[in-house]
Amino acid sequence: MSAVDETHDPDLGSRVDSANAPECDFPIQNLPFGVFSTAATPTPRVGVAIGDQVLDLARVAEAGLLETPAAVFAEPALNAFMSLGPEVWTATRRRLSALLGPGETGLRDDALVPLPDVRLHLPIAIGDYTDFYASREHATNVGTMFRDPENALMANWLHIPIGYNGRASTVVVDGTAVHRPLGQIKPPGSDAPIFSPCRKLDIELEMGAVVGTPNAMGRPISLAEADAMIFGFVLLNDWSARDIQVWEYQPLGPFQAKAFATTISPWVVTRDALAPYRVAGPPQDPTPLPYLRQDAAMNFDVDLAVDYLPAGGAMATTIARTNFRHMYWSSAQQLTHHAISGCAMRTGDLLGSGTISGTTADSYGSLLELTWNGRDSLPLDGGAERTFIEDGDTVTLRGWCQGQGHRIGFGQAAGKILPAVDF
The per-residue DSSP string of 179-242 comes to: EPPEEEE--TT-SS-EEEE-SSEE--EEEEEEE-S---TT----HHHHHHHEEEEEEEE--EEH
Question: Based on the domain organization, do 382 and 243 belong to the same domain?
Answer: yes
Handedness of CA 387, 192, 138, 172 (dihedral sign): negative
Task: Say if residue 146 is in the same domain as residue 197.
Answer: yes
Within-domain flag for 205: yes
Question: In terms of Cα–Cα distance, which of 234, 235, 232, 253 is closest to 244?
Answer: 253
Q: Are residues 75 and 152 in the same domain?
A: no
108 and 140 both lie in a single domain = no
pLDDT at 154: 94
- For residues 50 and 155, membership in a common domain is answered with no
User: Smallest Cα–Cα separation from 229: which of 347, 79, 129, 78?
Assistant: 347
Decide if 309 is inside a domain.
yes
| Residue 411 located in a structural domain | yes
**Residue 108 pLDDT:** 82
pLDDT at res. 239: 98
- Both 194 and 89 in a single domain? no
**Beta bridge partners of residue 269, listed in sequence order:** 233
User: What whole-number distance in Å separates Cα of residue 409 and Cα of residue 401?
Assistant: 6
* Same domain assignment for residues 165 and 117: no
Give dist(CA 248, CA 108) in Å, integer. 56
Per-residue pLDDT of the chain (423 residues; tens, 9 = 90+): 788 999 999 999 999 999 999 999 999 999 999 999 999 999 999 999 999 999 999 999 999 999 999 999 999 999 999 999 999 999 999 999 999 998 877 888 789 999 999 999 999 999 999 999 999 999 999 999 998 888 899 999 999 999 999 999 999 999 999 999 999 999 999 999 999 999 999 999 999 999 999 999 999 999 999 999 999 999 999 999 999 999 999 999 999 999 999 999 999 999 999 999 999 999 999 999 999 999 999 999 999 999 999 999 999 999 999 999 999 999 999 999 999 999 999 999 999 999 999 999 999 999 999 999 999 999 999 999 999 999 999 999 999 999 999 999 999 999 999 999 988
98 belongs to a structural domain: yes
- In this structure, is residue 75 part of a structural domain? yes
Q: Which of 121, 145, 161 is the last residue of a domain?
A: 121
Residue 207 sits in the same domain as residue 246: yes
- The answer to whether the peptide bond before residue 251 is cis (omega within 30 degrees of 0) is yes
DSSP three-state, residue 394: strand
Among 121, 151, 175, which residue terminates a domain?
121
Number of compact structural domains in the chain: 2
Rounded CA Rg of the chain: 21
d(CA 240, CA 388): 10
Clarify whether residues 277 and 320 are in a common domain: yes
- The verdict on residue 165 lying in a domain is yes
- Same domain, yes or no, for 345 and 264? yes
Assign 3-state DSSP to the chain and report helix, strand, coil percentages, each to 5: 25, 25, 50
67: containing domain: 6-121
Catalytic residue set = 138
- CATH number of the domain at 105, please: 2.30.30.230
CATH number at residue 204: 3.90.850.10
The per-residue pLDDT for 183 is 97
Shared domain check, 185 and 136: yes
- Does residue 1 fall inside a structural domain? no
pLDDT value at position 347?
Answer: 98
Q: Do 304 and 403 lie in a common domain?
A: yes
Q: Is residue 423 part of a domain?
A: no
Task: Check: pTM over 0.85? Answer yes or no.
Answer: yes
Q: Which of 93, 121, 149 is the last residue of a domain?
A: 121
Residue 175, pLDDT score: 98
